Amino acid sequence: MNKIIEKKMLDFSNEETSLSETLFHNANGYIGVRGTLEEGVPGDYDTMRGMYINGFYDIIPMKQAENLCNFVEEKETMLNVADTQTIEVYADGERFSHFSGKTLSGKRILNMEDGITERTVIWESETGKKLNIDIKRMTSFHELSLFTIEYAVTAENFSGELEFKSYHKPKVRNYCNPKDPRLAAESHDHLKTIISCIENSISFAVTETEKSRLKCATAVAHEVNKSNARICTTEGEDNIITCDIIVPVKKGETVVVTKYSVFTDSLREKDPLTAGRNKLKRILDNGLNYYYGKQKEYLSRFFERAMMEIDGDEALNKAVNFNMYELLQSSAKDSHGNIAAKGLSGEGYEGHYFWDTEMFMLPFFVLTDPDLARMLLRYRYETLDKARENALLLGHKKGALYPWRTITGVECSGYFPSGTAQYHINGDIAYAIINYYLVTGDLEFINEWGEEILLETARLWLDAGNYVKGRFVLNDVTGPDEYTCMVNNNYYTNMVARHNLLWAARFYHMIKETASGKKLIKKIGIKEAEIKEMEEACKNMYLPYDEETGIIPQDDSFFSKPVWDLKKTPRENFPLLLHYHPLHLYRYQVCKQADTVMAFFLFDDAANKDTMLKSFRYYETITTHDSSLSKCAFSIVAAKLSLKDEAFSYFGNSAKLDLNNMHKNTKDGIHTANMGGCYMAVVYGFAGLKIGESGISINPFLPGKWTGYRFNICYHENNLHIDVKKDSVSVTLLSGSGTGITVCGKEFTLKEKETIEVNTNA
Ligand code: BGC
């Protein structure tokens, strides 16, 4: 039961309908389909009827009021690629809809073990015809191109005719909301249908984007469980293809229509149409049950690797599973894409990839599926050249600067003060690579790809910074907190830059004599003198500290600003970004999200415990948590500082953020980073996991009313099971060649299948 989310359909308002479209979306990392009602919603409803492909985009002009030198002129936007979800059902001519007749009962279900969403409905038409409807949807993890709808209708109290009108609409538009900067402001016709045809009732279409010239092919086929069904497929206006299925039914009879949609694209396939045709043929030969079986198998492996259970709080347990499942749904399974801020669940942030991936989502995959994590990091390697070009555009003479938000690696942020100026993205990517290495020991990745990224990002710091009185400073950057922009020496930025410089040099020494190391040195022309400069900058990195208060200021000028009066700010004025001019916000001490506090999570040596505690307490009073990336970071740091109640309370808020629509915008898509943050709050926060050069350690505690919790992680190819109980913690090596581990300060060596137990009260 803890992997099933159920929601009764009682409220058919616009708000609730859109929210359920997000919560019950299906995705597999390649395609994402919003949980839109097949039959549609009233015309005045403002919903997103979306189907997306990870990394599939078009290019649109970026409007700049004043086009200053090297401003971003174009941006990429993830496209809604087609509509193959629409199915209308008629009982003797009366059309099923929740907005006519009577919905006697209705439920939406997400079954995370089976990997399907389901809608079950009992509906009565205006003339009293009762239908029992069961609709199952799946985006297959086994065959990433495949989306299925299994639509079963039982004629409960009549004999007559059931009709299914199923559509394949190749040309669709994106959603827009000019009032919300987190969404696209204008709608545009990006797609042109270049091929559409019907072969033996199967429909095919190819669309091409206007500017990026990418092609998307869709192939749609239907199966019906009744041999007396009459099927007719025709093409109409705008290349909309309709498959009309008419079935005579007797009272109590069930008709099942299975709709298979296959998506392919020219990013991954030379000839997407042929690839789609071949895939569809194979899929039809295998049949739906084969894919249901494979889906279950895939998820059982996933939940074994990413197993996490909480005793004593069923709702949280469910929320935690939901968050991990959504991370899996959102993550690309190839390096053509990555993980968008909203996954593949909606159009918020236009399908862009941010630091969210490296700092919030990736740690989950590093610990539960290192191969996938490696691939996600590969994406950054694939886009390194574009980061080099970006650095040049920004006036740097060398190095690489990763874009703040992007799809293919080019900067897509139009407002540089809270976009491009967030140079910490470089340090975040470096941090993620180093963390991946420390958890997996995969030096090959460092040799082949990682060190090149680290050296180029480190070069950028050297170019961006300068020395003042012997201290290395980084001026005019923006930290993670977007309510404070363009500052000198943002503490978080300087900390990640320091780490980046340290490890770029350290790896250099580790690999310089190897064949691949030599190749890399030659390729990027790195000199020993530069490495020395990196070491020097690292050693002399300036880190702000306020002697008077014993608190770490977010940046050099932070404490010279007045404190924003959060108590007097009307509730309806949050999030502040939607109600106040940014410049006004910048002049106050007010934080959108964890910034300095986030650094305390990443670095044990950030400051001594007293400074961290004082600073944490201070930032608590001035942080709005308007960003969903905030509370999870506060939870982890609270746990680190032994503030157990606070850690638990921040965690509770972040774990159910989407399920309870706490930010009131889940309708635009899930908050993927928060989901990763919530996972980290358990393993790094409550369980006190630390993985560094000296090895792995845990130091867990039981939060709130929990009576126990357990999870699996992978460390250096060892699969560990960690079980925290009221008075003890045990660690079992499920598989692997063995590892040392420190548990509550005691050192152990674990062999395969061995369990160690430590009394946590001792
Ligand atoms: C946050 C950023 C984040 C972005 C995408 C913004 O609200 O301030 O830190 O990267 O959302 O999730």
Among 352, 407, 629, say which to mutate for ligand 1: greatest number of ligand atoms within 8 Å of CB.
629
What lies within 8 Å, CB to CB, of 740 at 6+ separation is: 695, 696, 747, 748, 749, 750
Query: What's the pLDDT tens digit per position in 697-717?
Result: 999 999 988 999 999 999 999
**In the chain, what percentage of residues exceed pLDDT 70?**
99
- Whole-number Å distance, alpha carbon 554 to ligand 1 midpoint, is 18
Ligand 1 in reach of 592 Cβ (< 6 A):
yes
> What does the pLDDT read at residue 484?
98
> What does the pLDDT read at residue 182?
66
- The residue type of 412 is C
CB 405 within 8 A of CB 349: yes
Domain boundaries 4-302, corresponding CATH code: 2.70.98.40
Query: What's the pLDDT tens digit per position in 588-614?
Result: 999 999 999 999 999 998 899 999 999
**What ranges make up the beta strands (E) of 252-304?**
254-265
**What ranges make up the beta strands (E) of 250-391?**
254-265, 308-311
CB 730 within 8 A of CB 757: yes
Distance between CA atoms of 473 and 155, rounded to whole angstroms? Answer: 73
Instruction: Give pTM, 2 decimals.
Output: 0.97
Distance between CA atoms of 384 and 581, rounded to whole angstroms? Answer: 34
- Whole-number Å distance, alpha carbon 406 to ligand 1 midpoint, is 13
358: helix, strand or coil: helix
What lies within 8 Å, CB to CB, of 523 at 6+ separation is: 452
> What does the pLDDT read at residue 46?
85
Active site (catalytic) residues? 482
- Whole-number Å distance, alpha carbon 492 to ligand 1 midpoint, is 15
Choose among 74, 76, 75, 77: nearest CA to 50: 77
Distance between CA atoms of 496 and 499, rounded to whole angstroms? Answer: 5
> What does the pLDDT read at residue 185?
67
- Whole-number Å distance, alpha carbon 680 to ligand 1 midpoint, is 18
Nearest CA to ligand 1 atom 5: 341
> What does the pLDDT read at residue 569?
97
673: helix, strand or coil: helix
Query: What's the pLDDT tens digit per position in 190-207?
Result: 999 999 999 999 999 999
- The residue type of 28 is N
Ligand 1 in reach of 670 Cβ (< 6 A):
no
Ligand 1 in reach of 349 Cβ (< 6 A):
yes
Number of Cβ within 10 Å of residue 469's Cβ equals: 7
Ligand 1 in reach of 343 Cβ (< 6 A):
no
Query: What's the pLDDT tens digit per position in 289-320?
Result: 999 999 999 999 999 999 999 999 999 999 99
Among 627, 658, 671, 675, say which to mutate for ligand 1: greatest number of ligand atoms within 8 Å of CB.
627
Among 482, 578, 585, 597, say which to mutate for ligand 1: greatest number of ligand atoms within 8 Å of CB.
482
Give mean pLDDT, residues 100-128: 98
Query: What's the pLDDT tens digit per position in 174-184?
Result: 877 777 766 66
Distance between CA atoms of 351 and 348, rounded to whole angstroms? Answer: 7
Please report the DSSP string for 46-114 in residue order. -----EEEEEEEEEEE---SS--TT---EEEEEEE--B---EEEEETTEEP-TTSSEEEEEEEEEETTT
Structure tokens at 181: 């900067």
- Whole-number Å distance, alpha carbon 361 to ligand 1 midpoint, is 13
Ligand 1 in reach of 341 Cβ (< 6 A):
yes
Please report the DSSP string for 196-238 in residue order. EEEETTEEEEEEEESSS--EEEEEEEEEES-TT-EEEEEE-GG
> What does the pLDDT read at residue 179?
72
Nearest CA to ligand 1 atom 12: 341
The answer to whether residue 13 scores a pLDDT higher than 70 is yes
Give mean pLDDT, residues 380-392: 98
The answer to whether residue 422 scores a pLDDT higher than 90 is yes
Structure tokens at 403: 């874009």
- The residue type of 372 is L
CB 497 within 8 A of CB 461: yes
What lies within 8 Å, CB to CB, of 419 at 6+ separation is: 404, 405, 411, 413
- Whole-number Å distance, alpha carbon 629 to ligand 1 midpoint, is 7
**In the chain, what percentage of residues exceed pLDDT 90?**
95
> What does the pLDDT read at residue 188?
78
Structure tokens at 451: 């060190």
CB 272 within 8 A of CB 206: yes
The answer to whether residue 638 scores a pLDDT higher than 90 is yes
Query: What's the pLDDT tens digit per position in 463-485?
Result: 999 999 999 999 999 999 999 99
Ligand 1 in reach of 629 Cβ (< 6 A):
yes
The fold of the 316-351+658-762 domain, in CATH, is Maltose phosphorylase, domain 3 (2.60.420)
- Whole-number Å distance, alpha carbon 151 to ligand 1 midpoint, is 38
Give mean pLDDT, residues 266-287: 98
Ligand 1 in reach of 356 Cβ (< 6 A):
yes
Nearest CA to ligand 1 atom 8: 627
Distance between CA atoms of 544 and 462, rounded to whole angstroms? Answer: 19
Ligand 1 in reach of 593 Cβ (< 6 A):
yes
Ligand 1 in reach of 616 Cβ (< 6 A):
no
Ligand 1 in reach of 151 Cβ (< 6 A):
no
Contacts of the segment 413-420: beta carbons below 8 A, 24+ positions apart: 413/72, 413/75, 414/62, 414/63, 414/64, 414/71, 414/72, 414/75, 416/71, 416/72, 417/478, 417/485, 417/486, 417/582, 418/478, 418/482, 418/485, 418/582, 420/72, 420/394
Cross-strand bridge partners of residue 113: none
Structure tokens at 282: 């194979």
- The residue type of 581 is H
Number of Cβ within 10 Å of residue 181's Cβ equals: 12
Closest ligand 1 atom to residue 592 Cα is 8
> What does the pLDDT read at residue 63?
87
- Whole-number Å distance, alpha carbon 92 to ligand 1 midpoint, is 50
Strand order in the sheet with 160-168: 94-95, 87-91, 160-168, 241-249, 230-235
Structure tokens at 2: 């803890």
Ligand 1 in reach of 355 Cβ (< 6 A):
yes
Nearest CA to ligand 1 atom 1: 627
Please report the DSSP string for 508-522 in residue order. HHHHTTSHHHHHHHH
The answer to whether residue 186 scores a pLDDT higher than 90 is no
365: helix, strand or coil: helix
Choose among 709, 731, 759, 743: nearest CA to 308: 709
Distance between CA atoms of 735 and 467, rounded to whole angstroms? Answer: 50
- Whole-number Å distance, alpha carbon 369 to ligand 1 midpoint, is 25
Query: What's the pLDDT tens digit per position in 642-687?
Result: 999 999 999 998 999 999 999 999 999 999 999 999 999 999 999 9
The answer to whether residue 233 scores a pLDDT higher than 90 is yes
**Burial class of residue 493 in the structure, from the number of CB atoms within 10 Å of its CB (0-12 exposed, 13-18 middle, 19+ buried):** buried
Residues in the chain: 762
703: helix, strand or coil: coil
Ligand 1 in reach of 354 Cβ (< 6 A):
yes
Helix locations, 336-450, DSSP H: 356, 362-368, 370-382, 384-393, 424-440, 443-445
What lies within 8 Å, CB to CB, of 199 at 6+ separation is: none
Domain boundaries, the chain: 4-302, 316-351+658-762
Distance between CA atoms of 210 and 72, rounded to whole angstroms? Answer: 19
Give mean pLDDT, residues 323-350: 97
> What does the pLDDT read at residue 373?
98
27: helix, strand or coil: strand
Closest ligand 1 atom to residue 418 Cα is 8
Query: Across the chain, what does the average pLDDT equal?
Result: 96
Cα torsion through 289, 290, 296, 301, rounded to 10: 180
Please report the DSSP string for 554-599 in residue order. SSTTGGGSPBP-STTS-GGG-SGGGTS-HHHHHTSB-BSS-SHHHH
Cross-strand bridge partners of residue 406: 353
